[in-house]
């Protein structure tokens, strides 16, 4: 497949505004802070990581489709689209690589409408409620576990 492991990290709507959002749910790190932390972990594990964030469902679908034959794994925080985007779910299902869904907050302890993820059934796993560490754990899982 690919010579060096490559991971795509996709973030959905409003993740670009983390510093302006409720720190109780989303922590105090910005998206840029999280990306820097992920890059450091990727360097430690000798893996390449690319980032993508969009507030647009169609752009996220197109980015997922573009991952075919380019990445060994995907980490996705669909954000609000988690709960209703069949289009993102269907795009993820096309991928023949490991996928981990990540959420900064514990979606199962929040409002009832956030409890259901329509995207996680086509993912290898879900990490939620651990803040930015969830991204780091997902990178480690892809590099040291489910991508092997």
- Which residue matches tokens 């490559």? 6
Instruction: Please confirm, yes or no, whether 83 is among the known catalytic residues.
Output: no
Q: Which of 71, 103, 132, 135 is catalytic?
A: 103
Beta bridge partner(s), residue 51? 9
Token duo for residue 121: 């059934």
- Which strand ranges, in their side-by-side order, compose the sheet holding 48-53? 48-53, 6-11, 73-77, 99-103, 125-128
User: What is the rounded distance in angstroms from the CA atom of residue 87 to the CA atom of residue 123?
Assistant: 14
Instruction: Please confirm, yes or no, whether 103 is among the known catalytic residues.
Output: yes
Catalytic positions: 26, 103
């Amino acid at each position: 497949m690919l010579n060096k492991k490559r991971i795509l990290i996709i973030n959905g709507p409003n993740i670009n505004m983390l510093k302006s959002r409720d720190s109780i749910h989303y922590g105090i790190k910005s998206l840029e802070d999280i990306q820097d932390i992920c890059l450091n972990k990727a360097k430690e594990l000798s893996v390449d990581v690319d980032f993508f964030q969009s507030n647009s469902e169609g752009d996220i679908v197109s980015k997922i489709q573009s991952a075919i034959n380019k990445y060994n794994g995907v980490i996705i925080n669909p954000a609000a689209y988690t709960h209703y985007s069949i289009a993102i779910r269907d795009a993820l299902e096309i991928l023949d690589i490991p996928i981990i869904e990540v959420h900064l907050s514990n979606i199962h302890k929040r409002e009832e409408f956030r409890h259901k993820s329509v995207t996680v059934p086509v993912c290898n796993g879900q990490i939620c409620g651990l803040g930015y560490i969830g991204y780091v754990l997902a990178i480690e899982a892809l590099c040291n576990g489910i991508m092997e």
